């Protein structure tokens, strides 16, 4: 039957299913905590249950797995060869939920950050945490950790690599 997945896919799926305290998220949490930021976890009662809630900054942060949330243009956003239709509709559902949650949070006055797991891998983690920290203290309403790869409306904070 066609409903099995290969070993690599399975292990990636299992890693994702472990869920809330996956390692990349822990890296970000530790780093922000070390910088003095305090937050609550898994904001219950808030749309999309943000991974971190920074009440003092009126901000929430989602850490998105690139596979499950189908990070556009990301090498980790693969679609399993088996039952691609199933996966694509699953990804679409996840993305639609992400969008709805963000919209609803913003309508309630929350600032919303999305950090992709690929931006928390290896050396990039420190830079990403630093950018989130700066965003928290800014007055920008949104943050996307992959902004460097796409045109951004936040032109004033675009970083130049030297
Ligand atoms: Zn990614």
CA of 117 to the centre of ligand 1 (A): 6
Burial of 25 (0-12, 13-18, 19+ CB in 10 A): buried
Neighbours of ion ligand 1 (CB under 5 A): 66, 71, 74, 76, 116, 118
CB 117 within 8 A of CB 64: yes
34-148 sits in which CATH class? alpha beta
- pLDDT at residue 38 above 70? yes
Q: What is the pLDDT of residue 42?
A: 86
Ligand 1 centroid from CA 36, angstroms = 27
Residue 1 C-alpha to ligand 1 middle, in angstroms?
Answer: 31
Mean pLDDT value of segment 31-50: 92
Q: What percent of the chain has pLDDT over 70?
A: 80
Dihedral (CA of 97, 12, 53, 154) sign: negative
Residue-level pLDDT at 148: 61
Sheet with 59-64, strands from edge to edge, namely 40-41, 52-54, 59-64, 111-116, 142-144
For the chain, the structural domain boundaries read 34-148
Res. 8 pLDDT band, cuts 50 70 90: confident
pLDDT at 155: 42
Query: How far apart (Å, rounded) are the C-alpha atoms in residues 70 and 79?
Result: 9
């Amino acid at each position: 039957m066609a409903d099995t997945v290969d070993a690599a896919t399975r292990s990636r799926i299992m890693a994702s299913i472990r869920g809330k305290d996956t390692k990349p998220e822990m890296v970000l949490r530790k780093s922000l905590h070390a910088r003095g930021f305090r937050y609550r976890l898994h904001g219950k009662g808030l749309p999309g249950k943000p991974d971190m809630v920074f009440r003092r900054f009126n901000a929430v942060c989602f850490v998105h797995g690139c596979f499950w949330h189908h990070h556009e243009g990301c090498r980790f956003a693969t679609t399993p060869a088996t039952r691609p239709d199933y996966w694509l509709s699953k990804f679409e559902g996840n993305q639609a939920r992400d969008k709805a949650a963000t919209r609803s949070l913003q309508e309630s006055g929350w600032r919303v950050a999305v950090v992709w797991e690929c931006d928390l891998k290896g050396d990039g983690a420190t830079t990403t945490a630093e950018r989130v920290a700066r965003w928290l203290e800014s007055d920008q309403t949104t943050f996307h950790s992959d902004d460097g790869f796409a045109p951004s409306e936040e032109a004033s904070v675009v970083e130049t690599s030297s």
